[in-house]
A = this chain, B = another copy of it.
Amino acid sequence: MSKTSNGMRQSRLFTKTRREAPADEVAKNAQLLVRAGYIHKEMAGVYDFLPLGLLTLNKIIAIIREEMNAIGGEEVLLSTLQDPTVWKKSGRWDDAVVDVWFKTELKNGSELGLGNTHEEALTALMAGHIASYKDLPRYVYQFQNKFRNEARAKSGIMRTREFIMKDLYSFSKDAASHAEFYEKAATAYENVFKRAGIGDKTYRTFASGGSFSKYSHEFQTVCDAGEDVIYMDEEKRLALNKEVYDDAEVYAATGIDKASLKEAKAIEVGNIFTLGTRFSEALGLSFKDAEGKSSPVFMGSYGIGPARLMGTIVELLSDEKGLVWPESVAPFMHHIVSLGKPGDEVSKAAEDLYGDMTKAGHHVLFDDRDLRAGEKFAESDLLGIPRRIVVGRDAVATDSFEVVNRATGAVEKKSRAELLAK
Protein backbone atom coordinates (compact mmCIF):
# COMPACT_ATOMS: atom_id res chain seq x y z
CA MET A 1 0.00 0.00 0.00
CA SER A 2 3.07 2.23 -0.07
CA LYS A 3 2.04 3.58 3.27
CA THR A 4 4.17 6.33 4.64
CA SER A 5 3.39 6.90 8.28
CA ASN A 6 0.55 9.24 7.32
CA GLY A 7 -0.66 8.37 3.86
CA MET A 8 -1.92 5.66 1.56
CA ARG A 9 -2.16 5.58 -2.22
CA GLN A 10 -5.23 3.93 -3.69
CA SER A 11 -3.18 2.60 -6.61
CA ARG A 12 -1.47 0.39 -4.04
CA LEU A 13 -4.50 -0.47 -1.91
CA PHE A 14 -5.51 -4.04 -2.75
CA THR A 15 -9.21 -3.77 -1.95
CA LYS A 16 -11.76 -3.20 -4.70
CA THR A 17 -15.09 -1.59 -4.00
CA ARG A 18 -18.38 -3.04 -5.26
CA ARG A 19 -21.42 -1.27 -6.68
CA GLU A 20 -23.87 -3.86 -5.36
CA ALA A 21 -24.37 -5.10 -1.84
CA PRO A 22 -23.54 -8.79 -1.39
CA ALA A 23 -26.68 -10.92 -1.60
CA ASP A 24 -26.00 -12.72 1.68
CA GLU A 25 -25.86 -9.63 3.91
CA VAL A 26 -29.04 -8.19 5.45
CA ALA A 27 -27.47 -5.69 7.88
CA LYS A 28 -26.70 -2.24 6.48
CA ASN A 29 -23.36 -2.09 8.28
CA ALA A 30 -22.11 -5.29 6.63
CA GLN A 31 -23.51 -4.34 3.22
CA LEU A 32 -21.69 -1.00 3.19
CA LEU A 33 -18.47 -2.20 4.81
CA VAL A 34 -18.19 -5.11 2.38
CA ARG A 35 -19.01 -2.86 -0.61
CA ALA A 36 -16.37 -0.35 0.50
CA GLY A 37 -13.73 -3.07 1.00
CA TYR A 38 -13.42 -2.46 4.76
CA ILE A 39 -14.30 -6.04 5.74
CA HIS A 40 -14.61 -9.52 4.23
CA LYS A 41 -17.05 -12.17 5.33
CA GLU A 42 -15.50 -15.56 6.07
CA MET A 43 -18.79 -17.16 7.07
CA ALA A 44 -21.94 -16.11 8.93
CA GLY A 45 -20.82 -14.14 11.98
CA VAL A 46 -17.11 -14.19 11.12
CA TYR A 47 -15.42 -11.24 9.40
CA ASP A 48 -11.91 -10.20 8.39
CA PHE A 49 -10.77 -6.59 8.65
CA LEU A 50 -9.14 -5.25 5.47
CA PRO A 51 -6.71 -2.29 5.44
CA LEU A 52 -9.24 0.57 5.72
CA GLY A 53 -11.42 -1.43 8.13
CA LEU A 54 -8.48 -2.28 10.36
CA LEU A 55 -7.37 1.37 10.47
CA THR A 56 -10.89 2.36 11.56
CA LEU A 57 -11.10 -0.41 14.14
CA ASN A 58 -7.70 0.61 15.51
CA LYS A 59 -8.82 4.26 15.82
CA ILE A 60 -11.76 3.10 17.93
CA ILE A 61 -9.49 0.86 20.00
CA ALA A 62 -7.11 3.78 20.59
CA ILE A 63 -9.95 5.96 21.92
CA ILE A 64 -11.09 3.23 24.31
CA ARG A 65 -7.50 2.57 25.44
CA GLU A 66 -6.97 6.24 26.28
CA GLU A 67 -10.15 6.33 28.34
CA MET A 68 -9.27 3.12 30.17
CA ASN A 69 -5.75 4.36 30.93
CA ALA A 70 -7.22 7.64 32.18
CA ILE A 71 -9.17 5.82 34.91
CA GLY A 72 -6.14 3.79 35.98
CA GLY A 73 -6.52 0.74 33.75
CA GLU A 74 -3.52 -1.56 33.26
CA GLU A 75 -3.45 -3.38 29.94
CA VAL A 76 -2.81 -7.12 29.60
CA LEU A 77 -3.50 -9.79 26.98
CA LEU A 78 -5.00 -13.06 28.19
CA SER A 79 -5.30 -16.27 26.24
CA THR A 80 -8.16 -17.59 24.12
CA LEU A 81 -7.57 -21.20 25.19
CA GLN A 82 -9.26 -21.80 28.53
CA ASP A 83 -8.45 -24.47 31.09
CA PRO A 84 -11.74 -25.99 32.34
CA THR A 85 -10.45 -26.09 35.97
CA VAL A 86 -11.24 -22.47 36.79
CA TRP A 87 -14.58 -22.55 34.97
CA LYS A 88 -15.65 -25.62 36.90
CA LYS A 89 -14.89 -23.75 40.13
CA SER A 90 -17.19 -20.91 39.12
CA GLY A 91 -19.83 -23.29 37.76
CA ARG A 92 -19.72 -21.89 34.22
CA TRP A 93 -18.08 -24.75 32.28
CA ASP A 94 -21.31 -26.58 31.58
CA ASP A 95 -22.91 -25.82 28.19
CA ALA A 96 -26.28 -25.80 29.95
CA VAL A 97 -25.10 -22.81 32.03
CA VAL A 98 -23.17 -20.93 29.32
CA ASP A 99 -24.76 -21.72 25.97
CA VAL A 100 -22.24 -19.94 23.71
CA TRP A 101 -19.17 -22.11 24.34
CA PHE A 102 -16.90 -23.24 21.55
CA LYS A 103 -14.91 -26.19 22.88
CA THR A 104 -11.91 -28.05 21.53
CA GLU A 105 -9.34 -30.51 22.87
CA LEU A 106 -5.65 -31.20 23.28
CA LYS A 107 -3.93 -34.18 21.64
CA ASN A 108 -4.29 -36.11 24.89
CA GLY A 109 -8.07 -35.64 24.80
CA SER A 110 -8.30 -32.99 27.56
CA GLU A 111 -11.09 -30.54 26.87
CA LEU A 112 -10.36 -26.81 26.41
CA GLY A 113 -12.70 -23.87 25.87
CA LEU A 114 -12.36 -20.78 23.69
CA GLY A 115 -12.79 -17.80 26.01
CA ASN A 116 -16.17 -16.08 25.76
CA THR A 117 -15.29 -13.81 28.70
CA HIS A 118 -12.39 -13.65 31.19
CA GLU A 119 -13.67 -13.28 34.76
CA GLU A 120 -12.41 -16.75 35.68
CA ALA A 121 -8.97 -16.57 34.11
CA LEU A 122 -8.20 -13.08 35.39
CA THR A 123 -9.52 -13.69 38.91
CA ALA A 124 -7.30 -16.76 39.21
CA LEU A 125 -4.34 -14.80 37.84
CA MET A 126 -4.86 -11.90 40.27
CA ALA A 127 -4.71 -14.30 43.22
CA GLY A 128 -0.95 -14.41 42.57
CA HIS A 129 -0.67 -10.61 42.75
CA ILE A 130 -3.15 -9.44 45.38
CA ALA A 131 -2.59 -10.33 49.03
CA SER A 132 -3.13 -7.18 51.07
CA TYR A 133 -5.43 -4.15 51.12
CA LYS A 134 -2.31 -2.27 49.97
CA ASP A 135 -2.60 -4.11 46.64
CA LEU A 136 -6.09 -2.68 46.05
CA PRO A 137 -7.72 -1.30 44.02
CA ARG A 138 -6.61 -2.73 40.67
CA TYR A 139 -8.17 -2.17 37.26
CA VAL A 140 -7.04 -4.55 34.55
CA TYR A 141 -8.20 -4.58 30.94
CA GLN A 142 -7.45 -6.07 27.58
CA PHE A 143 -8.43 -5.99 23.91
CA GLN A 144 -8.86 -9.67 23.26
CA ASN A 145 -10.66 -11.94 20.86
CA LYS A 146 -13.83 -13.53 22.29
CA PHE A 147 -15.59 -16.53 20.81
CA ARG A 148 -19.32 -16.98 21.17
CA ASN A 149 -21.21 -19.77 19.47
CA GLU A 150 -24.23 -17.65 18.55
CA ALA A 151 -27.16 -19.55 17.06
CA ARG A 152 -28.04 -16.56 14.82
CA ALA A 153 -25.64 -14.04 13.34
CA LYS A 154 -27.43 -11.60 11.06
CA SER A 155 -26.35 -8.19 12.30
CA GLY A 156 -23.11 -7.83 10.36
CA ILE A 157 -20.17 -6.88 12.57
CA MET A 158 -22.51 -6.02 15.47
CA ARG A 159 -23.04 -9.62 16.62
CA THR A 160 -20.39 -12.08 15.57
CA ARG A 161 -19.03 -15.43 16.63
CA GLU A 162 -15.51 -14.03 16.98
CA PHE A 163 -14.82 -10.43 18.01
CA ILE A 164 -12.32 -8.24 19.77
CA MET A 165 -13.67 -7.12 23.12
CA LYS A 166 -12.33 -4.53 25.52
CA ASP A 167 -13.03 -6.09 28.87
CA LEU A 168 -11.94 -4.38 32.07
CA TYR A 169 -12.23 -5.97 35.51
CA SER A 170 -12.06 -3.99 38.73
CA PHE A 171 -10.77 -5.34 42.05
CA SER A 172 -11.75 -3.28 45.09
CA LYS A 173 -11.69 -3.76 48.84
CA ASP A 174 -15.40 -3.20 49.40
CA ALA A 175 -18.71 -2.20 47.85
CA ALA A 176 -18.18 1.51 48.60
CA SER A 177 -14.84 1.85 46.84
CA HIS A 178 -16.22 -0.31 44.03
CA ALA A 179 -19.18 2.05 43.60
CA GLU A 180 -16.82 4.99 43.26
CA PHE A 181 -14.90 3.33 40.45
CA TYR A 182 -18.09 2.03 38.81
CA GLU A 183 -19.25 5.63 38.41
CA LYS A 184 -15.88 6.66 36.95
CA ALA A 185 -16.05 3.77 34.49
CA ALA A 186 -19.58 4.81 33.46
CA THR A 187 -18.28 8.33 32.73
CA ALA A 188 -15.32 6.93 30.79
CA TYR A 189 -17.79 4.91 28.70
CA GLU A 190 -19.83 8.02 27.98
CA ASN A 191 -16.60 9.74 26.89
CA VAL A 192 -15.87 6.90 24.48
CA PHE A 193 -19.29 7.13 22.85
CA LYS A 194 -19.09 10.93 22.63
CA ARG A 195 -15.65 10.79 21.05
CA ALA A 196 -16.82 8.11 18.60
CA GLY A 197 -19.62 10.40 17.41
CA ILE A 198 -22.65 8.59 18.84
CA GLY A 199 -22.89 10.29 22.24
CA ASP A 200 -26.15 12.12 21.56
CA LYS A 201 -27.94 8.86 20.72
CA THR A 202 -26.50 6.79 23.55
CA TYR A 203 -28.28 6.27 26.89
CA ARG A 204 -27.06 4.88 30.17
CA THR A 205 -29.68 2.18 30.63
CA PHE A 206 -30.70 0.41 33.81
CA ALA A 207 -30.76 -3.36 33.48
CA SER A 208 -31.13 -6.21 35.89
CA GLY A 209 -27.97 -6.98 37.84
CA GLY A 210 -28.81 -10.66 37.63
CA SER A 211 -27.38 -12.69 40.44
CA PHE A 212 -24.73 -10.08 41.17
CA SER A 213 -26.46 -6.91 42.31
CA LYS A 214 -29.73 -5.01 42.00
CA TYR A 215 -28.88 -3.24 38.73
CA SER A 216 -26.27 -3.31 36.05
CA HIS A 217 -26.02 -0.77 33.24
CA GLU A 218 -26.05 -1.04 29.52
CA PHE A 219 -25.10 1.73 27.13
CA GLN A 220 -27.75 1.67 24.46
CA THR A 221 -27.59 3.62 21.22
CA VAL A 222 -30.99 4.45 19.75
CA CYS A 223 -31.10 3.03 16.23
CA ASP A 224 -33.69 1.23 14.14
CA ALA A 225 -31.21 -1.57 13.44
CA GLY A 226 -31.03 -2.40 17.15
CA GLU A 227 -31.95 -5.83 18.49
CA ASP A 228 -32.95 -4.39 21.88
CA VAL A 229 -35.83 -2.25 23.08
CA ILE A 230 -35.29 0.51 25.65
CA TYR A 231 -37.53 3.02 27.38
CA MET A 232 -35.82 6.37 27.53
CA ASP A 233 -36.18 9.61 29.39
CA GLU A 234 -34.72 12.01 26.86
CA GLU A 235 -34.37 14.87 29.29
CA LYS A 236 -32.62 12.91 32.05
CA ARG A 237 -30.53 11.04 29.43
CA LEU A 238 -31.37 7.77 31.19
CA ALA A 239 -33.21 4.68 30.04
CA LEU A 240 -34.50 1.32 31.29
CA ASN A 241 -34.44 -1.96 29.44
CA LYS A 242 -37.29 -4.49 29.26
CA GLU A 243 -36.04 -6.48 32.27
CA VAL A 244 -36.61 -3.64 34.71
CA TYR A 245 -39.41 -1.72 32.98
CA ASP A 246 -41.98 -3.06 35.41
CA ASP A 247 -39.74 -2.84 38.47
CA ALA A 248 -41.14 -0.13 40.79
CA GLU A 249 -37.83 0.17 42.64
CA VAL A 250 -35.98 1.47 39.61
CA TYR A 251 -38.39 4.40 39.33
CA ALA A 252 -37.93 5.15 43.01
CA ALA A 253 -34.14 4.96 42.71
CA THR A 254 -33.84 7.13 39.59
CA GLY A 255 -36.73 9.57 39.91
CA ILE A 256 -37.83 8.60 36.41
CA ASP A 257 -41.55 8.95 35.66
CA LYS A 258 -42.77 5.87 33.81
CA ALA A 259 -45.25 8.00 31.88
CA SER A 260 -42.51 10.13 30.35
CA LEU A 261 -40.64 7.19 28.84
CA LYS A 262 -40.39 6.71 25.11
CA GLU A 263 -39.86 3.27 23.59
CA ALA A 264 -37.10 2.87 21.02
CA LYS A 265 -35.05 0.21 19.32
CA ALA A 266 -31.43 0.33 20.39
CA ILE A 267 -28.01 -1.30 20.05
CA GLU A 268 -26.16 -2.28 23.21
CA VAL A 269 -22.71 -0.71 22.71
CA GLY A 270 -21.36 -1.38 26.19
CA ASN A 271 -22.24 -2.78 29.58
CA ILE A 272 -20.95 -2.54 33.11
CA PHE A 273 -21.63 -4.99 35.93
CA THR A 274 -21.11 -5.19 39.64
CA LEU A 275 -19.87 -8.73 40.23
CA GLY A 276 -19.38 -8.47 43.98
CA THR A 277 -17.60 -11.50 45.40
CA ARG A 278 -19.17 -14.07 43.05
CA PHE A 279 -15.86 -14.90 41.32
CA SER A 280 -13.37 -13.98 44.03
CA GLU A 281 -15.03 -16.43 46.42
CA ALA A 282 -15.22 -19.21 43.84
CA LEU A 283 -11.58 -18.77 42.81
CA GLY A 284 -9.95 -17.85 46.11
CA LEU A 285 -9.08 -14.20 45.50
CA SER A 286 -8.94 -12.59 48.93
CA PHE A 287 -6.95 -9.88 50.71
CA LYS A 288 -5.96 -9.11 54.29
CA ASP A 289 -7.02 -5.78 55.78
CA ALA A 290 -4.86 -3.69 58.15
CA GLU A 291 -5.92 -5.91 61.06
CA GLY A 292 -5.01 -9.10 59.21
CA LYS A 293 -8.59 -10.15 58.59
CA SER A 294 -9.16 -11.87 55.25
CA SER A 295 -12.02 -10.92 52.87
CA PRO A 296 -12.88 -11.75 49.28
CA VAL A 297 -12.06 -9.02 46.76
CA PHE A 298 -15.07 -7.03 45.47
CA MET A 299 -15.22 -7.07 41.67
CA GLY A 300 -16.84 -5.44 38.65
CA SER A 301 -16.65 -6.01 34.90
CA TYR A 302 -16.91 -3.53 32.03
CA GLY A 303 -17.20 -4.42 28.33
CA ILE A 304 -17.16 -2.64 24.98
CA GLY A 305 -16.88 -4.34 21.58
CA PRO A 306 -14.93 -2.03 19.23
CA ALA A 307 -16.33 -3.72 16.10
CA ARG A 308 -19.90 -3.45 17.38
CA LEU A 309 -19.21 0.23 17.99
CA MET A 310 -17.88 0.52 14.43
CA GLY A 311 -21.01 -1.19 13.09
CA THR A 312 -23.23 1.11 15.15
CA ILE A 313 -21.49 4.19 13.73
CA VAL A 314 -22.18 2.85 10.23
CA GLU A 315 -25.85 2.16 11.02
CA LEU A 316 -26.34 5.64 12.48
CA LEU A 317 -24.27 7.95 10.31
CA SER A 318 -24.02 6.48 6.82
CA ASP A 319 -26.26 7.74 4.02
CA GLU A 320 -27.49 6.54 0.63
CA LYS A 321 -24.08 7.27 -0.93
CA GLY A 322 -22.08 5.22 1.54
CA LEU A 323 -20.09 5.38 4.75
CA VAL A 324 -19.73 8.60 6.76
CA TRP A 325 -17.00 8.51 9.40
CA PRO A 326 -16.64 10.99 12.25
CA GLU A 327 -13.15 12.52 12.13
CA SER A 328 -12.20 10.71 15.35
CA VAL A 329 -12.49 7.21 13.87
CA ALA A 330 -12.00 7.75 10.13
CA PRO A 331 -9.14 5.72 8.63
CA PHE A 332 -7.87 8.99 7.12
CA MET A 333 -8.92 12.60 7.60
CA HIS A 334 -8.44 13.79 4.02
CA HIS A 335 -9.12 12.19 0.67
CA ILE A 336 -7.15 13.81 -2.14
CA VAL A 337 -8.84 12.98 -5.43
CA SER A 338 -6.66 13.75 -8.42
CA LEU A 339 -8.44 14.43 -11.70
CA GLY A 340 -5.16 14.40 -13.62
CA LYS A 341 -4.01 12.04 -16.33
CA PRO A 342 -0.73 10.15 -15.97
CA GLY A 343 2.18 12.56 -16.23
CA ASP A 344 0.19 15.80 -16.64
CA GLU A 345 0.45 18.97 -14.56
CA VAL A 346 -2.62 18.15 -12.50
CA SER A 347 -1.24 14.73 -11.53
CA LYS A 348 2.04 16.33 -10.54
CA ALA A 349 0.28 18.95 -8.43
CA ALA A 350 -1.76 16.22 -6.71
CA GLU A 351 1.40 14.20 -6.04
CA ASP A 352 3.10 17.25 -4.55
CA LEU A 353 0.10 18.10 -2.41
CA TYR A 354 -0.07 14.50 -1.11
CA GLY A 355 3.64 14.45 -0.34
CA ASP A 356 3.59 17.81 1.43
CA MET A 357 0.38 17.19 3.40
CA THR A 358 1.60 13.83 4.73
CA LYS A 359 4.96 15.40 5.59
CA ALA A 360 3.10 18.14 7.46
CA GLY A 361 1.44 15.45 9.57
CA HIS A 362 -1.96 15.18 7.86
CA HIS A 363 -3.49 11.73 7.40
CA VAL A 364 -4.34 11.38 3.75
CA LEU A 365 -5.82 8.79 1.42
CA PHE A 366 -4.71 9.63 -2.10
CA ASP A 367 -6.69 8.59 -5.15
CA ASP A 368 -3.83 8.60 -7.65
CA ARG A 369 -5.53 6.25 -10.11
CA ASP A 370 -6.35 6.95 -13.74
CA LEU A 371 -10.16 6.68 -13.61
CA ARG A 372 -13.14 8.82 -14.61
CA ALA A 373 -13.95 11.67 -12.19
CA GLY A 374 -17.52 10.40 -11.66
CA GLU A 375 -16.25 6.97 -10.67
CA LYS A 376 -13.74 8.49 -8.28
CA PHE A 377 -16.30 10.74 -6.60
CA ALA A 378 -18.79 7.88 -6.18
CA GLU A 379 -16.11 5.72 -4.61
CA SER A 380 -14.95 8.57 -2.41
CA ASP A 381 -18.52 8.94 -1.11
CA LEU A 382 -18.68 5.18 -0.47
CA LEU A 383 -15.41 5.19 1.52
CA GLY A 384 -16.62 8.02 3.76
CA ILE A 385 -13.38 9.92 4.45
CA PRO A 386 -14.37 13.20 6.20
CA ARG A 387 -12.82 15.75 3.81
CA ARG A 388 -12.42 15.36 0.09
CA ILE A 389 -9.90 17.63 -1.64
CA VAL A 390 -10.42 17.77 -5.37
CA VAL A 391 -7.32 18.45 -7.47
CA GLY A 392 -8.36 19.49 -11.00
CA ARG A 393 -7.05 21.86 -13.64
CA ASP A 394 -8.86 25.00 -12.40
CA ALA A 395 -8.00 24.35 -8.76
CA VAL A 396 -4.31 24.11 -9.59
CA ALA A 397 -4.38 27.18 -11.86
CA THR A 398 -6.17 29.38 -9.32
CA ASP A 399 -4.70 27.83 -6.15
CA SER A 400 -8.22 27.31 -4.86
CA PHE A 401 -9.13 23.71 -3.96
CA GLU A 402 -12.62 22.43 -3.25
CA VAL A 403 -12.81 20.74 0.14
CA VAL A 404 -16.04 18.76 0.45
CA ASN A 405 -17.29 17.77 3.89
CA ARG A 406 -18.57 14.19 3.53
CA ALA A 407 -21.05 14.45 6.40
CA THR A 408 -22.70 17.77 5.51
CA GLY A 409 -21.87 18.16 1.83
CA ALA A 410 -20.60 21.67 2.59
CA VAL A 411 -17.93 22.94 0.21
CA GLU A 412 -15.07 25.23 1.22
CA LYS A 413 -12.35 26.69 -0.97
CA LYS A 414 -8.81 26.51 0.34
CA SER A 415 -5.40 27.47 -0.95
CA ARG A 416 -2.53 25.02 -0.94
CA ALA A 417 -0.96 26.85 2.00
CA GLU A 418 -4.21 26.56 3.96
CA LEU A 419 -4.39 22.83 3.23
CA LEU A 420 -0.87 22.31 4.55
CA ALA A 421 -1.46 24.28 7.76
CA LYS A 422 -2.18 22.22 10.84
Contacts and interface: CB of A to CB of B under 8 A. Distances in A.
Interface of A: 1-3, 12-16, 37, 40, 42-43, 46-51, 54, 57, 69, 72-83, 102-107, 112, 114, 121, 125-126, 128-130, 135, 138, 140, 145, 147, 149, 151, 161-162
Nearest to A2: B72
A367 to B, nearest CB: 16
Given A104-B114, A106-B161, A145-B145, 4 more contacts: A1-B72, A14-B130, A15-B129, A42-B79
26 contacts: A1-B69, A1-B73, A2-B72, A3-B74, A12-B74, A14-B135, A14-B138, A16-B128, A40-B128, A42-B78, A42-B79, A42-B83, A46-B83, A48-B78, A48-B121, A49-B76, A49-B77, A50-B76, A51-B74, A54-B75, A57-B77, A80-B145, A80-B162, A81-B162, A102-B105, A107-B151
A14 B81 contact: no
A77 B54 contact: yes
Contacts of A102: 104-105, 112
Given A80-B162, A103-B104, A48 B149 contact: no
Contacts of A128: 16, 40
Contact of A107 (B13, B37, B149): B149
B16 A48 contact: no
Contacts of A104: 102-104, 114
A344 B107 CA distance: 59
Contacts of A126: 14
B69 A3 contact: yes
A80 B14 contact: no
A140 B79 contact: no
Contacts of A103: 104
Contacts of A37: 129
Nearest to A110: B43
Contacts of A1: 69, 72-74
Contacts of A47: 79
Contact of A79 (B15, B46, B106): B46
A77 B161 CA distance: 15
Contacts of A73: 1
Contacts of A77: 48-49, 54, 57
A125 B40 contact: yes
A133 to B, nearest CB: 14
A87 to B, nearest CB: 12
A82 B114 CA distance: 14
Contacts of A83: 42-43, 46
Given A12-B72, A81-B42, A147-B81, A48 B125 contact: yes
A141 to B, nearest CB: 10
B121 A42 contact: yes
Contacts of A78: 42, 48
A371 to B, nearest CB: 12
Q: Please provide the 4 A-B residue pairs with the shortest distance between their CB atoms, ordered closest to farther.
A: A1-B74, A49-B77, A102-B104, A48-B78
Given A14-B135, A16-B129, A79 B48 contact: yes
A16 B76 CA distance: 14
In this complex, which of A16, A80, A135 has the most chain B Cβ atoms within 10 angstroms of its Cβ? A80
Contacts of A40: 125, 128
A340 to B, nearest CB: 18
B81 A80 contact: no
Contacts of A82: 42
